[in-house]
Structure 1
Amino acid sequence: MRALQPDLRAVVEDAVWAPSIHNTQPWRFTLSGSRISLRADADRRLEVADPEGREMLVSCGAALFNLRLGLRAQGLEPQVTLLPDPDRPHLLADVEAVPGEDPDEYTRALHAQVRRRRSHRGGFRADPVLDPELARIRAEAEQEGARFIQAVDAHVKGALAALNNAAEHIQRRTPSYASEIARWAPAPGGRRTDGVQHGSYPRTTPWTDPHFSARDFARGRGWGADPVHTEEPPTAGVIVLLVTDTDRPADWLRAGQGLQRSLLRASQHGFAAAYHTQSLQIPGLRAFIRTHFCGDAWPQLLLRFGMPDTEVLTSVRRPLQDVLTEGP
């Protein structure tokens, strides 16, 4: 009989390396025997930007995919029940680990990217994301019940950039948004293990065409990693919307799982993703994007894929004891 407990702790350590909005890491895990339960940590929800908890659940869905992948990398098979108890909405999934097959090459290769993957907050090199590579990235999301809609037309790209930039202007002028950003963007020199650290974003954001405004995590104080100068001007990369056919909590979890699966595949090819959630955090703009660019599918994230124009930036995660409770 396989000794499960040490393996399952390692699986949770993998799960926490999922991306999350402002690196809030809004998840908690309970380990009991061969079962891992995933819960949303509502204290870490962005009350201003994410009042319904949609992005919180997308983040938790990404952690859930890491959990499933980590189990398969251990030769275990995850049996997942999404939202198992309607009376406990923050209980997002029960995952039972049962004996499975030895991991195949695909599983091992994807699992190897879990702690290498990083979010990007700048421009991309001119190296294109080739159609076969993009097709593989897109197929990963579809395996989880989500899909990507690529912006190909220059006017669509420009419109999405303009909506993002308008939302960024609105949020910068709204004190409650600004306060929330400040809460999750600590000053250099601290010891926090969450939030957007100053080493995880560039000191200056290079201009791209079209240009997508980045969040001002430094709040005008000049924090951030030093830019890497390249001979060629940076590009915006491939612009995509991650969408689902409906817009319920289960869909948000599926979107997160599809997102993470795609991000790990992209990381295998050396690509990274930049996230632009501003326009989807303003209900009127999200509705406009849905109607005009998504064919009535529900947009969950706006991303750019490409080859990073900077060195790999840093990230932090909370220690295991802060996110894991172990039962009998």
Structure 2
Amino acid sequence: MSACTTEEITSAIRTAIQAAVWAPSVHNTQPWSFVTNGEEIALRADGDRKLRISDPSGRELLISCGAALMNTRLALRALGYEPQVRVLPDPDRPALLATVRMGAAVAVDEHTRLLHAEIERRRTHRAGFIESPVPDHLVETLVSQAATEGARLTPVHSEAAVRVLAALTNAAQDVQSQDRLFTLEVLRWAQPPGSSRKEGVPAKGYPREPRRTHPHFAQRDYGHGHSWGSDADQFDSASAGLVAVLTTPGDSREDWVAAGQALQRVLLHASAYGVSAAFHTQALEMFHLREFLRQELLSGEYPQMILRLGFTLDESEGVRRPVADVLEERRRS
């Protein structure tokens, strides 16, 4: 790195953080911040954006930040630098989730270019998919992408198991919708039409009156009695798509960060082939339902995300906070 000028280093780091902020996060809370010091980027959890009702342990927050870490790594590799990553480097600083340094120069491979190109294109889908199935060879590749990051992506082919996942998702959604604190927490991150906020879920990002998928997977009620949402044709599809579960062998903070990196690697590869994903975390936010899934369907592995994969005509725009809002730059003396 000694051959790089200060301007080149600064530009590379800002490019990496610009990529990081495009990571998916629960309710688009964007619960991260970054500190730069020389050639090092520190990724920190933003506790003010933690979902204290639905995510008291911070599991979903760390998964979100893990996805941001994956984007950081990909951006540096796409620029020709080998990222040197330390996850949870300081036990006395729990908010410090990772440090990333610009390592030696490396040749940029085609797969890195493929994934990097999808960082700002990828979108979360919140409805059904068209009937076209996800090709088996692509599913196999997505499974291997998750394994690269130490997680397991399990496509659920059993109709009975899919019905169980749908039923638990619907049950959790019904229970949470009756809980005032759960509802208020979701509404905090719901944007009304015309909002200029660069965080939360835009009103155009979900259907006003969603069609039921088969089997039906309940979506979050971001409108909650308001006539918010989009009437666009891209949401007028009823297939549930391919249901899959992302799991890890353990359930530590390290596992959660790894799950986020694996999830984002899967999502970017899928996006490169026109496949979108819808997320369902409702059942995973209720201890007994999550344990039921772990013990009865997942061979003891810990479920970190339930997702549906498929093709859609969705062309909704993403919203993200500018880098200046999440970055603190320090200068070494």
> TM (normalized to structure 2)?
0.96
Report what 1:226 is aligned to: 231
Stretches of structure 2 lacking an aligned partner (at least 5 in a row): none
Whether the 8 Å CA contact 2:127–2:235 is kept in 1: the answer is no
Corresponding letter in the other structure for 1:326: E
CA distance in 1, matches of 2:66, 2:315: 24
Corresponding letter in the other structure for 2:319: V
**Per the alignment, in what secondary structure is the counterpart of residue 233 of structure 2?**
coil
Report what 2:309 is aligned to: 305
Whether the 8 Å CA contact 2:37–2:330 is kept in 1: the answer is yes
Whether the 8 Å CA contact 1:14–1:115 is kept in 2: the answer is yes
User: What percent of counterpart residues are identical?
Assistant: 46
Report what 2:120 is aligned to: 115
Deviation per residue, 1:243-272 (Å, 9 max, x gap): 000000000000000000000000011001
Is the deviation greater in 100-109 or in 222-231? 222-231
Corresponding letter in the other structure for 1:301: M
Which residues in structure 2 correspond to 1:191-230 (within 5 Å)? 191-228=196-233
> TM (normalized to structure 1)?
0.97
Deviation per residue, 1:68-125 (Å, 9 max, x gap): 0000001011010110000001100011112321311111111000000000001011
Corresponding letter in the other structure for 2:72: L
**Per the alignment, in what secondary structure is the counterpart of residue 27 of structure 2?**
helix
Matched, 1:36 2:47: no
Deviation per residue, 1:208-255 (Å, 9 max, x gap): 111001111011212112131799x52101101100000000000000
Deviation per residue, 1:11-33 (Å, 9 max, x gap): 10001100000000000011111
**Per the alignment, in what secondary structure is the counterpart of residue 87 of structure 1?**
coil
Report what 2:90 is aligned to: 85
CA distance in 2, matches of 1:108, 1:290: 35
Whether the 8 Å CA contact 1:239–1:302 is kept in 2: the answer is yes
When the two structures are aligned, how many residues end up with a matched partner?
A: 326
Of 172, 181, 187, which aligns to 1:182? 187
**Per the alignment, in what secondary structure is the counterpart of residue 245 of structure 2?**
strand
CA distance in 2, matches of 1:186, 1:122: 18
Which residues in structure 2 correspond to 1:1-150 (within 5 Å)? 1-2=3-4, 3-150=8-155
Could you say what the CA RMSD is over the residues aligned between the two structures, in angstroms? 1.2
CA distance in 2, matches of 1:225, 1:185: 14
Deviation per residue, 1:34-70 (Å, 9 max, x gap): 1000000011000000000000000000000000000
CA distance in 2, matches of 1:135, 1:150: 9
CA distance in 2, matches of 1:158, 1:238: 12
Report what 2:296 is aligned to: 292
**Per the alignment, in what secondary structure is the counterpart of residue 106 of structure 2?**
coil
Matched, 1:242 2:240: no
CA distance in 2, matches of 1:44, 1:149: 30
Whether the 8 Å CA contact 1:74–1:102 is kept in 2: the answer is no
CA displacement at 1:186 relative to structure 2: 2.2
Compared with structure 1, are the counterparts of its residues 230 and 168 closer, same or farther at alpha carbon in structure 2 (3 Å cutoff)? closer
Corresponding letter in the other structure for 2:186: I
Compared with structure 1, are the counterparts of its residues 128 and 110 closer, same or farther at alpha carbon in structure 2 (3 Å cutoff)? same
CA distance in 2, matches of 1:62, 1:12: 12
Deviation per residue, 1:173-214 (Å, 9 max, x gap): 000000101111021222211011101112121111110011
**Per the alignment, in what secondary structure is the counterpart of residue 88 of structure 1?**
coil
**Per the alignment, in what secondary structure is the counterpart of residue 191 of structure 1?**
coil
Report what 2:267 is aligned to: 263
Is the deviation greater in 66-75 or in 147-156? 147-156
Could you list the structure 1 runs, at least 4 aligned residues long, displaced by more than 2 angstroms after superposition: none
**Per the alignment, in what secondary structure is the counterpart of residue 36 of structure 1?**
strand
Whether the 8 Å CA contact 1:69–1:107 is kept in 2: the answer is yes
Deviation per residue, 1:115-137 (Å, 9 max, x gap): 00000001011111111010111
